[in-house]
Amino acid sequence: MLDACAQLLDEIGYDALTTTRIAERAGVAIGSVYQFFPDKRAIAQALTQRNLEVFVSRVGQRFITEEYAGWWAAVDAIIDEYVHMLRHVPGFRSLRFGDVVDVHLLDPAADNNAVISGRLRGLLLSEFGLADSDELDRAVVVAVEAADAVLKLAFRRDPEGDAEIVAEAKKLVRGYLSSQLS
């Protein structure tokens, strides 16, 4: 059902998405959809959670298998994974991390980018031994918000993501974090 939802998001968008369409695409009875999900928002939420886990897992795997000169190279890898998902993961470009549906889709107490920031902050702390602080927390939140805005611009300009704008997002985030983490 989540795969059917993702495919439909790419084809028709969230506003036209219905549980009936999801059931038809998944080849299941509508009752089966409602057995697991009360509405299309709940399905989108489950898909967003799955995408978040895929993203964090892919970034974590890169951290394990690749050597980075420093945290700045890891930031590039994080942005590269996000761009890869926007280009290749069904439904991700339409849904992203749920901001299209609800800025609190991942967690009712925190906005979606704050959830992403927390997960990325944890990866950076565990991999690069940065000092844990309120300043680091704030810097990662601002960096995620800035990257999100600039990457949205890149994909508005080009369906595959304007490579020059993606490069500018990396420079912006690296420059900002460098000024905050020194």
Domain ranges of the chain: 40-181
Token match 């996000």: residue?
82
The mean predicted confidence, pLDDT, of the chain is 90
Tell me what the mean pLDDT of segment 152-169 comes to. 96
More confident of the two residues 93 and 108:
93
List beta partners, residue 107. Answer: 110
Cα distance between residue 87 and residue 68, in whole Å:
24
Note the pLDDT tens digit of each residue in 168-177: 999 999 999 8
pLDDT value, residue 130: 80
pLDDT value, residue 175: 92
Is the distance from CB of 140 to CB of 121 less than 8 angstroms? Answer: yes
pLDDT value, residue 28: 97
CATH top class, domain 40-181: mainly alpha
List beta partners, residue 110. Answer: 107
List beta partners, residue 70. Answer: none
Enter the pTM of the model: 0.87
Tell me what the mean pLDDT of segment 71-91 comes to. 93
Confidence of residue 182 (pLDDT cuts 50, 70, 90): low
Question: What DSSP string describes 51-67?
Answer: HHHHHHHHHHHHHHHS-
Cα distance between residue 175 and residue 172, in whole Å:
5
Note the pLDDT tens digit of each residue in 1-33: 999 999 999 999 999 999 999 999 999 999 999
Percent of the chain, pLDDT > 90? 60
Tell me what the mean pLDDT of segment 37-44 comes to. 94
pLDDT value, residue 169: 97
Is the distance from CB of 149 to CB of 143 less than 8 angstroms? Answer: no
pLDDT tops 90 at residue 74: no
Tell me what the mean pLDDT of segment 67-77 comes to. 87
Note the pLDDT tens digit of each residue in 84-105: 999 999 999 988 887 777 776 7
Is the distance from CB of 8 to CB of 22 less than 8 angstroms? Answer: yes
